[in-house]
Amino acid sequence: MHHTTALASYPSLRGQRVFITGGATGIGAAIVEAFAQQGAQVAFVDVAEAEASALAARLTALGYPPVWWRTCDVRDIPALQNAIRQAQTELGDFFTLVNNVASDDRHALEAVTLDYYDERMAVNQRPAFFSIQTLVPGMRRLGGGSIINLGSTGWQGKGTGYICYSVAKSSVNGLTRSLADTLGADRIRINTVSPGWVMTERQMRLWLNAEGEAAIARNQCLPDKLQPSDIARMVLFLASADGAMCTAQEFKVDAGWD
Ligand SMILES: NC(=O)c1ccc[n+]([C@@H]2O[C@H](COP(=O)([O-])OP(=O)(O)OC[C@H]3O[C@@H](n4cnc5c(N)ncnc54)[C@H](O)[C@@H]3O)[C@@H](O)[C@H]2O)c1
């Protein structure tokens, strides 16, 4: 099984400060853990207080550097900005930002009200932009940085039941492309990491069924199911000095689905 193979460690990530949104569960939690394993200084926000607290306690028990976390609903942009500024004051400027938070709730075209549409954008689209805006001055002070925006391969297929999520996730590539040139002048890199169908606790509980299993077998080139840690490995590379000349790109980790 490929998931049990010994994996790379990155000297450049040791002591590096990383800010992650939606870090309590799923892919975000795997990213938090992967950076902690590398000896990075991780800070994250999430609404899920119990899960966040349990993750931080588990990582501390494993002997990793203490993880900084705050409860924060990212739909509240001033609250998100306050949490970022508080982390910066307590820990220092962040070299890496991982825009991970999202929510893939389902809906029919007819059911979407203006308020619901705006709420979906508030979770899935706005937090990345305003997190970047808040953290870039610190990256400039450090002389560089790495921004990793979680995109998706979901919208790149067709027939999904999550229209608003697709609208928001498709805009991630535009966010990455539109900022790469401006930020690149200050050696701040920005990339999209687009997962295929990853077996998070939420995906397995809510959406994976026999039909889904068959779709995975039919569409993926590789037989194994994608794990959150598979996405985290790509994120580590892009944050590390090994990824120094990668910017403005989309990196898919989808077992060859597309
Ligand atoms: N799982 C997949 O198959 C898959 C596929 C493609 C892309 N992605 C992308 O990967 C990223 C992570 O997805 P995931 O599957 O781990 O999601 P998830 O739903 O499992 O986890 C999302 C995390 O964000 C938190 N969160 C949700 N709403 C919040 C809010 N308003 N404020 C603060 N925190 C909030 C949740 O508590 C949770 O910890 C997302 O950007 C998603 O679009 C996932």
CB of residue 198 inside a 6 A radius of ligand 1:
yes
Q: What is the CATH number of the domain that holds 57?
A: 3.40.50.720
Atom of ligand 1 nearest to the CA of 201: 20
203 CA from centroid of ligand 1 (Å) = 10
The verdict on residue 129 lying in a domain is yes
Rounded CA gap, 99 and 171, in Å? Answer: 13
| Each residue's pLDDT expressed in tens, for the chain with a length of 258 residues | 556 567 899 999 999 999 999 999 999 999 999 999 999 999 999 999 999 999 999 999 999 999 999 999 999 999 999 999 999 999 999 999 999 999 999 999 999 999 999 999 999 999 999 999 999 999 999 999 999 999 999 999 876 799 999 999 999 999 999 999 999 999 999 999 999 999 999 999 999 999 999 999 999 999 999 999 999 999 999 999 999 999 999 999 999 997
Q: How many CA atoms lie within 13 A of 190 on its CB side?
A: 27
Tokens of 208: 């994976």
The verdict on residue 5 lying in a domain is no
The verdict on residue 6 lying in a domain is no
Among protein residues, the one whose CA lies closest to atom 1 of ligand 1: 198
Q: How many structural domains comprise the chain? A: 1
Burial zone of 149 (CB within 10 Å; 0-12 exposed, 13-18 middle, 19+ buried): buried
Ligand 1 mutation target, pool 20, 46, 67, most atoms within 8 A of CB? 46
Atom of ligand 1 nearest to the CA of 23: 39
185 CA from centroid of ligand 1 (Å) = 31
The amino acid occupying position 251 is F
CB of residue 47 inside a 6 A radius of ligand 1:
yes
Instruction: Point out the residues that are catalytic.
Output: 165
Is 0.85 surpassed by the pTM of this model? yes
Among protein residues, the one whose CA lies closest to atom 42 of ligand 1: 102
The verdict on residue 1 lying in a domain is no
121 CA from centroid of ligand 1 (Å) = 14
Range of the domain at 126: 12-252
Torsion, CA 198, CA 172, CA 239, CA 54, rounded to 10: -50
The verdict on residue 132 lying in a domain is yes
The verdict on residue 7 lying in a domain is no
181 CA from centroid of ligand 1 (Å) = 28
